[in-house]
Structure 1
Amino acid sequence: MQEAIDRGVAFELVYSPAIKDSTMRRYTISNALNLMQICKGKNVIVSSAAERPLEIRGPYDVANLGLLFGLSESDAKAAVSTNCRAVLLHGGEQVLPRKTPRAHV
């Protein structure tokens, strides 16, 4: 896991199971706290993986869940904003190289 952290791989914490079931809530929080001990809150994103619209929470609520998961306030905010953007941009770089040929008409 340390090798992935060193390479800048992002880790996703999914919060919707914690909303659905008390047993899953304990597992989710426990797993999140274990992850925070290893990665120190860096390169973490928090998402819903929701199956229904009622399982989705607003960004401030999700950042507060990040605090419960062991993230610092700044890392919790980054987990719902800048880290997500960085993952999408990094994924886009792998799909489309920077010097993509373009046709001019």
Structure 2
Amino acid sequence: MIFLGLCVNLNWISEQYIRNSSFYVGLPIVVPIVLIAAIFLGIYLNLSIWYKLSDKTRFGAYISIIGAIVTISINYFFIPSYGYWASSWATFASYLIMMIISYFLGQKY
């Protein structure tokens, strides 16, 4: 609900908190993508309790390395063409993949 309220009121909220008007151009596109990515990160953090309780913390390192590889790869290949859009989608994809991997490994172990 807060996510929807923030996205709907983004124009006047951004005018209150961001003084440099050159940043306004990316707000309607990037902010919702990064907010959904933050939700995925929160879900991942809640799902990650399985490897801490089962003493399989090496899986946490593996999942983080996979997330870093996804982020770096998308940024490397797509930032020259798409700019800051690529960074927001890289964050989205990285957290989504980490969440999915943690869910399925948690079901298995």
Tell me which interval the TM-score lies in, with the shorter structure as reference length: 0.3 to 0.5
TM-score (ref. length: structure 2): 0.32
Counting strand residues as a fraction of each chain, which structure ranks higher?
1
Counting helix residues as a fraction of each chain, which structure ranks higher?
2
Query: More relative contact order in 1 or in 2 (CA 8 Å, sep 6+)?
Result: 2
TM-score (ref. length: structure 1): 0.33
